A and B are shown apart, each in its own frame.
Chain A
Amino acid sequence: MKRRHKANMLPLLLLFSHAAHAVQQTTGIDAQAKLPYWQVSDNAMSLRLVQRLPVQSRAFFMARGFSQRQVERIAQSCIFQTVFKNISHLSNPSVLEYDLRDWRVISQDKRVKMKLREDWDYELRKSGVGTSQRLAFEWSMYPTQQKYKPGDYNWGMSDFNLKPGTHFDLQLKWHQSGKDHQTTIKNMQCAPDINPQSGDEI
């Protein structure tokens, strides 16, 4: 009887051990932004990506002194509000690390890299954008690399290097408790530009 009980427990333990490391994906409408979100999480990490409308980017960067042309260049990107958290409990702490240079955006059978704060900085410098505007841009973009201890998180904008409205899959990687992890979020979509403005390239 005891042996049979143990045999019954084995699949449950295996299931538990698998599920404890399973990545759960959810999608829906973000209650605060009222825009679509995609989220992945497990017992230690949580990544939430919320669409950001081009009109929101226009308003944000106009208020920070960017010219109409520069603002339009940013608005025609695929920007998501991004929140990456270490949610591991102190009783079982994990350290998370990621590098956005390892992530890939897959759209129409093409794999492209994200457009990072360093890429934008290079472009903005070349266009003669002033220091205070570049600082505002740099710090509003999601950090390219980061290491999170329990309770740590960042919040910022990520650019998936596509045109508004484009559908894509996102292949993401992170390092957690000494192990590499990766997953793919399927069928994400850049926010469409519902109110396009004319603007030249910066």
Chain B
Amino acid sequence: MIKPILYSICIMLTLAVQAAAPVQQTLPALAKPFAAPEFELKGEDGKSYRLSDYRGKLVILAFWATWCPPCRFEMPSLERAWQKLKHKNIIVLGVNVGEDADTIFEFTGNFPMSFPIPMDLKGEVVKKYPVVGLPTSYIISPNGKVTHRAVGSREWDKPDILSRLLHMSQTR
């Protein structure tokens, strides 16, 4: 009689540990890759960013906003990843949703971000992909196909994620 009770306690403890555990650093592949919707947006630096200008590179397209807690958690790791990947045929585009340059500037004062930050001021590009919650990131292959989607923040500079991105950047 004691054994089943002990088993039951062990299983409940396992479930509790799983629920409290940090989110796994996954990069789920899409069942049906699709052609990346084109966009051209003005960046917070005043430059214009057009997705098709990066054809031939692997694109990490991260949709985010300054008020979103998981985005604030994710952005520093995306910056660290960018520092390691920027000379490896990979580009990071951190598309901010619905905020102006002043708001973003204030945020980057505390969390430096050196990759391009196109501004989706009217929230039109975010709907094309489609995103339903922030942050959401897509991986766009060098030939312009959206191949992977990560919903929620990731630690982009973790070695397993970096090595997967490097591998994808070399796959045509």
List residues of A whose CB falls within 8 A of some B CB: 11-12, 15-16, 19-20, 22, 24, 26, 39, 41-43, 46, 60, 64, 85, 87, 89-90, 131-132, 135-136, 138-140, 142-146, 148-156
Report yes or no: A60 in contact with B67, Cβ–Cβ below 8 A. yes
- Give the interface residue-count category, chain B: 35 or more
Report yes or no: B97 in contact with A90, Cβ–Cβ below 8 A. no
Main secondary structure of the interface of B (DSSP, over half): loop
Q: Which residues of B contact A144 (CB under 8 A)?
A: 132
> With A148-B151, A154-B152, A155-B70 as given contacts, are A42 and B8 in contact (CB-CB < 8 Å)?
no
Q: Mark B51-91, 1 if CB is under 8 A from A, else 0.
A: 00000000000000101111000000000000000000000
Q: What is the total of A-B residue contacts with beta carbons within 8 Å?
A: 113
Is B28 at the interface (CB under 8 A from chain A)? Answer: yes
Give CA–CA (A140, B98) in the complex, Å: 11
Main secondary structure of the interface of A (DSSP, over half): mixed
Q: Which residues of A contact B133 (CB under 8 A)?
A: 139, 142-143, 146, 154-156
Report yes or no: B151 in contact with A154, Cβ–Cβ below 8 A. yes
Min C-beta distance of A87 to chain B, whole Å: 5
Question: Which one of A42, A90, A154 contacts B24 once the chains associate, using CB atoms below 8 Å?
Answer: A90
Q: Which residues of A contact B114 (CB under 8 A)?
A: none
Min C-beta distance of A28 to chain B, whole Å: 12
Residue of B nearest to A133 (CB): B98
> With A135-B123, A139-B98, A156-B133 as given contacts, are A151 and B25 in contact (CB-CB < 8 Å)?
yes
